[in-house]
Structure 1
Amino acid sequence: MKLRKVTEGVLNDHNNKQIITILFYFLISMPFLPLAAYPVINPTQTVILEKQQRDLKKNLMPSLKFVSIDRQPIAPEQAGSSDDSLCLVIKQVKLINIDAFPNAGRLIQWAKQAQGNCLDEKGLSSLRGTLQWQLVVDGYITSHVTFTEDSYVDGTLFLTLIPGRLVSIEQP
């Protein structure tokens, strides 16, 4: 009985218009209401996650091994039997085919880090690997960085960027 008495007042025509009007305004104002749920952030957990992210980034990026530019390249007769001490003084790094990559800014930054340094074989390999890694990070997984026969001329290191192409993607 009580249920009927409560619903009788709601069901009359006057109340329906008010309810519909209220619902209409609520529907219109919904896009402006912030309905996103945000997690509670634990500061210690944030610090741990940021440290893990930095460590992961350091592990993924090989460090460039530089020798001070004050040293001159050692001639083979001066080095004796050890070829590990040879290095190339890099005055400038030029990236060939850089126009094929719209996100070239990061590649250029990595290349500029080598300028003004003396790189040995490991340093050159590390520079190539770092540029290759940056291509992958930028989404160019089929592209690669390579040295050519005339990659080093008068202090200028030329690195060739070869854009990769996908012919097709097949699903098994």
Structure 2
Amino acid sequence: MVTIRTMTAADAAAVAEIRVSGWRAAYTGIVPQGYLDAMDPVANAAAHRERLASGAGPVVDAVAEAAGAVVGWACYGPCRDAGRDRPPGTGELYALYVRPELIGTGVGRALWIAALEGLRKLAGHERARVVLWVAKDNARARRFYERAGCRPDGAERSEEYAGTAVPEVRYVLDPLRAP
């Protein structure tokens, strides 16, 4: 059984390990291998602790826990594109990662549903939009979000990793609804 709860500083090391192993599993062949190899879970955990301690902004971190261990992490909050080409009140899923060996077990879906509920609360009403960015070549993630009802909205951008541009596509769920 998976339980979703708010992340605490005590979860930072587990979340960092999930994030780094998730990147290495999802982005091999998409992001330069040197970048993936250089990812440091200790430094990432410190960054999570610092951000949590600062209480910066309305960003929400949630963890999935099973048998007393953190097995997944989601981060969400206000849309970073709101006001540019997204209406105010739009929410954004910034990250969703599951221990690679647990992909396909329902942990990601549980985190997704919890994030949707959290975004509804942030929006203050049941009808809100959610966006998220996915690496264009990350077929597994794209299938996950498409099965959850999200669709590409035509927006694209690139993020640079170790000098390599990685194209991303924006997905939108509109109106926000539980899958």
TM-score tier (shorter): under 0.3
Structure (1/2) with the larger strand percentage = 2
State which structure, 1 or 2, has the greater radius of gyration over its C-alpha atoms.
Answer: 1
Higher helix share: 1
TM-score (normalised: structure 1): 0.25
